[in-house]
Structure 1
Amino acid sequence: MRRLVLLLVSVLVVAGCGSRPATHQAAADRSGAQHPGFPVTIENCGRTYTFDKPPTKVVTGYHPALETLIALGLQDRVAGRTNFSESAFLPGQKEHYDKIPEISPTIMLPQKEIMLSQGADLVIDNSPASFDPAGGYATIDELAAAGTPVYLLGNWCDPESQLEFDIEQIFTDLRNLGAIFGVPDRAEKLITELRAQLDDATRRVADRPKVRVLATDGGKGPVNAYGGTGLTNELIRLAGGENVLADVRADYTEVSAEKIAATDPEALIVSEYATLRGEPMPTAPQKAADTFAIARNSTAAKERRYLPLPVAAQHPGYRNVLAVIEIAKFLHPEAFS
C-alpha cells in the first residue's frame, strides 16, 4: 500500500516523538571553519535544527524528496537514495538518479542499522512512515542523536498535519532547503519561477465553472479514493476543480461503490504507478475503466474522461506545483489554448 496508509500504522509512535520542540545541532563543522550565512536554524515538525555548514552527505527517502533537491541543483550533495520505480521521472532527472548509490531496494528508507551506518548529515523524506520503529526503522530521535537531522517535506509530520496540506508549504520547504544548503538565491529564483507558473494557471481557471472531479487509485468496490482534505484535494482545488468527495474528511481512504456511483463526476484523476515494490500495478486505463463501470451514468464515464497522474505528484515535493498546472490544463483546456 501507499506510504499514506503506512502513516496510520506509525502515528502513535511518530506523532508522539514530534510533540515537543527539541533542539539539535546538525551538520557541525568540526574544523571550526566559518561558512558565510551560517549558522542556520530551521524548524520542522516540532523540532529545531541548527546547521553550522551546508550538508554534504544527504540521504533521500521517497523520490519527491530527491526530485526537489535536483530541482535546486543539489544532486551532488546526495550520498544515498531509495529505489524509485513507481512513476515516470521528471525530464532530465533520471541521469542524476542513476549516479546516486541506492541504499534501499524499496521506496522506504533502509532498516535501522543500515540507516544509522550511513553517517548522513541530513535525511529528507515526506512521510514519518520510514521512521516507525515497529517496521524496523530508525526513529527521527535516534537519527538526530546520531547527528542526522530529518526534514519532512510538506509538513507531513503526522496524519492530522497531512490533512491540512497547503501548497504554500512547498515554497516554505524550498526556502528552508535553500537556507540549509547555503543556496538561498537559487531557492528564491526557483520559487519565483514556480509561483509565476502557478499564478498564471490559477488566474486562467479562476472564473470558469468548477469541474466535478473524482480522484481515484482504483478498486471495484470499495474504491481507493481521495477525500476533501489533503494534498490531492488541494491540487484539484487550485486547478479549477471541485472534489466530488468533499464531504469525506480524509486524504486517501476507501469509499463504498454506492457512494462513488452517486457522485456523478465530470472527470477522473487516476493515480498512476509503473510498479510498486517491483511488482506490476494495475494501469491507469484499467483503474479508470473500473471506476467508469461503477459510476456508469456519470458524465466522466460517458465521455471516458480521465487524467493519469503520477503518484509521486500526490506526495509533497517540487512536482506538486507542476501537477496543478497539468490538472488545470486537463480540466480547462480552453483556458490554455
Structure 2
Amino acid sequence: MKRLLAGGLLLVLAACGQAAPPTAPAEQAAAPITVRNCGRTLTFDKPPSKVVTGYQPALETLLALGLQDKIAARTAFEENGPDGFLPGQKAAYDAIPQISDTIMLPQKEVMLAQGADFVIDNGQSSFDAAGGYATVDELQAAGAPVFILGNWCSPEETLKFTIEQTFTDLRDLGIIFGVQDRAEKLITDLRAALADVEKRVSGLPKVRILATDGGTGPVTAYGGAGLMNQMITLAGGENVLADTKADYSEFSVEQVAASNPDALLVLDYVVYDGKAVATADKKAADVLGVVKNSPAAKEKRTMPVPAAAAHPGYRNILAIVEIAKFLHPDAFTR
C-alpha cells in the first residue's frame, strides 16, 4: 500500500511547530482587552496565567505561541498514540499536569476546582451539562472565559469554517496573552507555507480525494463543507463528495462506490472513548473494498491523516502541506 506515515506531518515546518522556550520574555498586553469568540465578548484585564486546555489542537496552538508557562493543566492525548506529537511538543506535554484520562475536559466539579482563568478547546462537547461538564456560562462565572478554536460553536458554524479562521484564532490568542509579535510571526510563516503549496500545485490536475473514517456500509466520510474539504482543496485535490453539504457524516455504499476517487485520506487515531479502534490501514482496506473499481483501489493509494489535524488549530496548515506532498509529490522535488 502506498502511504505516507502520519509521522511525516511532524516534519513539516518544524521551526513553527516547536514550542518557544518557557523562559522567553513575555510581551505585555494592554489592559483591558477584548476579543469576540463564538458570538461572545471575552474581556481580560491581564493575560491569563492559569490555563486549562482541552483536545490536542488547543494545547498545540498555545505551545506554538510559546505559552507553555501559562498552561496549568491539560487533557490526555490518548487517541493519538506515542507518535502523535508535533516537533518539540512531547516534552512540554509531559511537563503539564493531566486532569482527564481522555481528550475531554474533566467533569464539572473537577473542572471548576482547577481555578482556571482561561479555558481553550475545539468544540462544545466538553461544555455539555447533560454530560456532567461545566458549561461555558458556569466557567465564565467562575472567572474562566472559554475560547473555542475555529468558531466550532455549533454544527452550523462547523460547516462554515474556513482556514482564515485559523489565522483569526492565532491573532486573537496573541492579543489575549500579550504576545502579538509571536502570533504575527507564526501567521506570516504559515501563510508562506500555504503560498508555497499554492504555487507548486497551481495548474496541476486535481486529484480526486475521498476523505474517510472507514466503514463498509455506511461509510463515514467528509462532504463538501467544513475543514477537511478546505484542506483537500488547498492541497490541490478535489473532494469526490463536494456536492454534499456536510462535514463528517455517513454516506451510503452506493454513493461512495460511485465517487471513483484517485486516492483516500484516512483519519488516523488509535483510541476513542477509552477503547482501541480500527487502524488507518484497516479502515483504508475496508473503504478500498467499497470503491474497488476506482483508481485509488487499483493503486492502493492512501494517506493517514492524524485526527488532530481534522479539528481547528495551527496544525491544519501543516496538514495541508503534507496532503499536497502526497497528492503531487513531483511538485515538491523542484
TM-score of the two chains, using structure 1 as the length reference:
0.88
| Residues matched between the structures, number | 303
Matched AA of 1:77: K
Which residue identity does 2:306 align to in structure 1?
A: P
CA contact (8 A) 2:29 2:175 kept: no
CA contact (8 A) 2:79 2:270 kept: yes
Deviation at 1:277, TM superposition (A): 3.2
Cα offset for 1:206?
Answer: 2.1
Structure-2 residue corresponding to 1:49: 42
Letter of the 1:99 counterpart: A
Residue 280 of structure 1 deviates from its aligned partner by 1.9
Q: CA deviation at 1:274?
A: 2.2
Give unpaired runs (5+ residues) of structure 1. Answer: 1-34
CA distance in 2, matches of 1:238, 1:199: 10
C-alpha displacement at 1:279, in angstroms?
A: 2.2
The whole-number CA distance in structure 2 between the counterparts of 1:215 and 1:49 is 35
State the Cα deviation string for residues 223-253 of structure 1 (Å, max 9, x = none): 1111110110010010011100012111101
Give the drift of 1:278. Answer: 3.4
Name the structure 1 match of 2:189: 193
| Alignment partner of 1:138 is 2:134 | yes
2:243 counterpart residue number = 247
2:320 corresponds to which of 318, 324, 332:
324
Q: 1:149 aligns with which of 145, 166, 181?
A: 145
Query: How far 1:145 moved relative to its partner?
Result: 1.0
2:29/2:47 contact within 8 Å kept: no
Match of 2:168 in 1: 172
Residue by residue, what CA displacement relative to the aligned partner does 1:272-294 show, whole Å, maximum 9, x if unpaired? Answer: 00222332221111111101111
Query: What amino acid is the match of 2:59?
Result: L
Residue in structure 2 matched with residue 32 of structure 1 by the alignment? none
Query: Among residues 213, 218, 233, which one is paired with 1:217 in the alignment?
Result: 213
Tell me the distance in 2 between the aligned counterparts of 1:126 and 1:36.
Answer: 24
Structural mapping, 1:262-301, within 5 Å: 262-301=258-297
CA distance in 1, matches of 2:128, 2:270: 26
| Alpha-carbon separation, structure 1, partners of 2:272 and 2:94 | 19
Deviations 1:98-130 (A, max 9, x none): 111111111111111111111100000010111
2:307 pairs with 292, 295, 311, which one? 311
Residue in 2 that maps onto 1:83:
76
Once residues 116 and 201 of structure 1 are traced to their aligned partners in structure 2, the CA distance between those partners, rounded to angstroms, is 43
Look up the equivalent residue of 1:227 and give its one-letter code.
G
Query: Does 1:107 find its partner at 2:100?
Result: no
Aligned position for 1:61: 54
The corresponding residue for 1:21 is: none
Q: Partners of 2:245 and 2:103 in 1: how far apart? A: 27
Distance of 2:272 and 2:42 partners within structure 1: 33
1:159 aligns to 2:155 (yes or no): yes
Superimposed CA distance per residue, residues 73-101 of structure 1 (whole angstroms, 9 cap, x where no aligned partner) = 10111101001022211121111001111
Partner of 1:256: 252
Aligned with residue 233 of structure 2, among 234, 237, 242: 237
* Structure 1 SS opposite 2:144: coil
Q: What letter matches 2:43 in structure 1?
A: T
Structure-1 separation of matches of 2:244 and 2:156? 14
C-alpha RMSD over aligned residues: 0.9
After TM superposition, the score normalised by the length of structure 2 is 0.89
Which of 323, 327, 334 aligns to 2:330? It is 334
Matched residue of 1:214: which SS?
A: strand
Pair 219,36 (structure 1): closer, same or farther in 2 beyond 3 Å: closer
Q: Does 1:123 align with 2:116?
A: no
Where 1:110 maps in the other structure, the secondary structure is coil
Task: Look up the SS of the partner of 2:78 in the other structure.
Answer: coil
Q: Residue by residue, what CA displacement relative to the aligned partner does 1:34-57 show, whole Å, maximum 9, x if unpaired? A: x65222111100110111111000
Alignment partners' CA distance in 2, 1:37 and 1:142: 27
Q: Distance in 1 between matches of 2:29 and 2:235?
A: 40
Q: Structure 1, residues 132-177: CA drift from partner, whole Å, max 9, x if none?
A: 1111111101111111100000111110000011001011100100
Work out the CA distance in 1 between the residues paired with 2:68 and 2:220.
34
State the alpha-carbon separation in 2 of the partners of residues 62 and 104 from structure 1: 11
* Alpha-carbon separation, structure 2, partners of 1:36 and 1:237: 37
